[in-house]
Chain A
């Protein structure tokens, strides 16, 4: 079965990379209605996942995330659980920061604010899936029919986007610290790191789009989930982005 057997037994890294590029990615076995089809997206070990997470936090110039870390074995484990963790870390940390900000206020009564989890889930999962779909569609349209050579599969795009969101998890936890300058510094650092991972992978075609969308997500999360003492019950009219409008409309 040509799909299953990879005859390259050599330890030669270059050789492996060559063959994997030629194959253009793993072909999942079975149709999309079988369990095995989805099993092929979870074919990773603990070490591999940790390695990919490390790669998303330390983007080195010249290291294309897809080519260096994924090596045509993209997985859905990382993107999915990073998104889930991010949803809860943003909602919980935002709740904690609101609580810490209002601690001196005698009229404040603590609220768990569980509706924030739903909003965070919608926003983050939409970002992690719709943006890669758009990006992949755009790149594929540009490549035309030569999808295998130099183009990325849809799964690889989703995978790199999912892993690039990892840096926001520790950032959201650190946002509990109630210093505005620290929060804006953290958000800048996170955006740079996360954006670099994406830019180094998809350079240079969609640089501007990636930066803009990433900025919108980060700033939107910060403004909505980490509101400071000045409560703004109505949506901020100066923010033009649809992401933020969507988030505040759902509240």
Chain B
């Protein structure tokens, strides 16, 4: 009993406390729901479909521009996506069709073969760079390698246009120059993005497979011969 009284004494003064009526007491008791604010920023369920598609297209187009003017930017690495590589791979595989089609056995690569070479090759190169101690993530590397095929796809389109006008020595020389330039461009662009994530004493070990990869794709483009 006495202890309870002792305990209640520190609060004794509070029993007289009353809120003066001069001070208006009002306010909002509702707790501000932060999640609704967050929802507005990240929830894209309510926006029109056109906006969603346009946003992705803009991201893809932005990366295309990054490939055209390669500089060490982290933007392409941070927001990776695989739409661009898929689009480029399909375009390249389609452009490589329709050549020397009379004998499938000895002709150009099939659609599936191009796909396998591009994707399987990218995966192998990514695994290689990770096994050598690279700090880049798996999908980031796939993204970079896929986007850097763009110069070669453009070269393929140019080659097909050149081939329409003829397939003699002049056209071959033109195609050789175009493919060589675009192969160099692809390799340079991808190493500009990938080189930073490797320890310096292993850079060449990572760059060589990339070189080989784009060389093989360039070879497929250069040897494309139209059906007679």
Q: Per-residue CB proximity of B146-172 to A under 8 Å, as 1/0?
A: 000000000000000000000000000
Q: Chain A residue with minimal CB distance to B219?
A: A92
Determine whether the beta carbon of A112 is less than 8 Å from that of B205. Answer: no
Given the complex, which residues of A lie within 8 Å of B107, measured CB to CB? 111-112, 114
Given the complex, which residues of B lie within 8 Å of A46, measured CB to CB? 201-205
- A112-B108 contact, Cβ under 8 Å, with A39-B131, A42-B131, A81-B208: yes
Total A residues in contact with B, Cβ cutoff 8 Å: 24
Determine whether the beta carbon of A114 is less than 8 Å from that of B109. Answer: yes
Given the complex, which residues of A lie within 8 Å of B132, measured CB to CB? 42, 77
Given the complex, which residues of A lie within 8 Å of B208, measured CB to CB? 81
Total B residues in contact with A, Cβ cutoff 8 Å: 29
Give, as a whole number of angstroms, the nearest-CB distance from A34 to chain B.
Answer: 12
Chain A at the B interface: SS class = helix
- Interface flag for A73 (CB, 8 Å): no
- Interface flag for B100 (CB, 8 Å): yes
Given the complex, which residues of A lie within 8 Å of B219, measured CB to CB? 88, 92
Determine whether the beta carbon of B223 is less than 8 Å from that of A95. Answer: yes
Given the complex, which residues of B lie within 8 Å of A230, measured CB to CB? none
Q: Per-residue CB proximity of B101-145 to A under 8 Å, as 1/0?
A: 001011111000100000000000000101111000000000000
Give, as a whole number of angstroms, the nearest-CB distance from B13 to chain A.
Answer: 65
Q: Chain B residue with minimal CB distance to A111?
A: B106
Determine whether the beta carbon of A111 is less than 8 Å from that of B204. Answer: no
Determine whether the beta carbon of B205 is less than 8 Å from that of A77. Answer: yes
Q: How far is the CA of A109 from the CA of B103 in the complex (A)?
A: 11
Which residue from B105, B201, B204, B216 sits with its C-beta under 8 Å from A88?
Answer: B216
Give, as a whole number of angstroms, the nearest-CB distance from A98 to chain B.
Answer: 10
